[in-house]
Amino acid sequence: MKTLAMNEICDNQLDGGIEGFVAHVNASLRGRTASEIVAWACDTFGPSIVLSSSFGVQSAVMLHLVTKQMPNVPVVWIDTGYLFPETYEFAQELRGKFQLNLQIYQSVLSPAHMEALYGKLWEQGTVDAHRLYGQLRKVEPMERALKQLNAKALLVGLRAEQTSHRKNLDIVHVHNGRLKICPILHWTAQDVDKYMEKHNLPYHPLKAKGYESIGDVHSSRPIAPNELVRITRFHGIAQECGLHMNWTDPVHEIEPLDISTIVIYSKPDCRYCIQAKEILQQKNLEFKEYIVDQDISTGQICERIGQVVHTVPQIFMYGEYIGGCTELKKYLA
């Protein structure tokens, strides 16, 4: 598989310039094994790649997959200060087993300091409180870690079947200006178990007590019969903690989708956006344009479309969602 040079990676901007790169990479990786995807990532990014781990139920899989190809890869662990004692013990076990280059990051606010300012956010039962907790204890430390480690790409163990958000991800996608790479995105729980058994890898000790997804003590519980795994997290308020979603978007009211015309969400310096507008102008089709991060946030676009998207333009034709520039060409052909 061809290794792409670092200068082919667009710097810290979600715009049309990276759309082609991401599409090319995902096409190249389609059908590849997890090991091959990891090999590509390590060869392409070298010292600029980082692996994140929560030391959860099946974290040994990604640690094994990656460290056997890049033994000294930085492994970022976000310690919220509210983890189970068993998680700290498990992390220590895996640190020794794989000789991990472990980088531990925490919030700038201690648990006591946060609770003094905001109370016990997990007890408030609102989405806003959940997001604030995630931002303070997980997202900010992770972003700080990745900046300090000069990370251009992040390897993660996300799987499509875990949440509705992850189901819509690509193996390689843009998140907060970096590439996020998901080698086991299309693995099932059975695939994970087979890999664990084949390589004699340990599960988190709380799995034996009925836990299938493990985070903070106050927001994780054992799974009940016929229950979805992610329901056991965050008291059912949300499926994600914020590490894999963009919760830093500005929040403001947006006008309803105009179904009487063509609507295009774009960025000024995006060549695919410019191309899409030129196509519409050549066909004498009127359209409304909204600037991403000015008129509308990426999160609001995702909500409007009903799935996660990471690129621009995003186009609606008279209320019908079309997609990007490529889809527009097909639609008008």
Residues forming the active site: 241
How many angstroms separate the Cα of 258 from the Cα of each of 219, 251, 305, 317? 40, 20, 14, 10
Peptide bond into 313 cis (omega under 30): yes
C-alpha to C-alpha distance for 231 and 182, rounded to whole angstroms: 23
- What are the residues whose beta carbons fall under 8 Å from the beta carbon of 141, sequence distance 6 or more? 78, 105, 106, 107, 108
Residue with tokens 């648990």: 111
DSSP annotation of 204: P
N-terminal to C-terminal alpha carbon distance within the chain? 33
Residue 60 burial by CB count (10 A; 0-12/13-18/19+): exposed, middle or buried? buried
- What are the residues whose beta carbons fall under 8 Å from the beta carbon of 72, sequence distance 6 or more? 101
C-alpha to C-alpha distance for 165 and 146, rounded to whole angstroms: 22
The 10 Å Cβ neighbour count of residue 74 is 20
C-alpha to C-alpha distance for 274 and 299, rounded to whole angstroms: 22
